[in-house]
């Protein structure tokens, strides 16, 4: 079963994404703090990280991207996306960047592509 880690400082967004992903049959953890995300990722690897870029913490989604990109694909979500942030995220290795408000089908399709890509890469 695919494991997804969701990080968003907005509890409603965390719950929405977790519920969406669970409904797809993906094991999902959702946290609001980057430190908690790193702790969970160290305990048991995830197949995908979906994180808001702007977190109300000393670390951002870009910081999480830099720390976890070698272990799983990272999809960043932002409600305040600028071209500079998007370019930085792409250069840093983000799988994709999705703007809020997002369409449910858009985020599910992006997550599925990322998980499918990782499955194919694991088989090679």
Neighbouring C-alpha atoms within 13 Å toward the C-beta of 19: 7
* Residue 40: both structure tokens together: 């969970």
74-95 residue pLDDT tens: 999 988 766 788 888 999 999 9
Distance CA 96, CA 77 (A): 9
What pLDDT sits at residue 95?
95
1-22 residue pLDDT tens: 899 999 999 999 999 999 999 9
């Amino acid at each position: 079963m695919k494991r997804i880690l969701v990080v968003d400082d907005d509890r409603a967004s965390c719950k929405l994404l977790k519920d969406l992903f669970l409904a797809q049959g993906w094991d999902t953890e959702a946290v609001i703090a980057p430190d908690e995300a790193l702790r969970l990722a160290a305990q048991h690897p995830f197949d995908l990280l979906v994180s808001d870029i702007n977190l109300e913490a000393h670390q951002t989604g870009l910081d999480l991207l830099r720390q976890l990109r070698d272990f799983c694909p990272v999809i960043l979500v932002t409600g305040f996306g600028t071209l500079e942030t998007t370019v930085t995220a792409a250069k840093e290795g983000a799988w994709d960047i999705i703007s809020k408000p997002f369409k449910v089908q858009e985020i599910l399709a992006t997550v599925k592509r990322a998980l499918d890509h990782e499955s194919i890469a694991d088989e090679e």
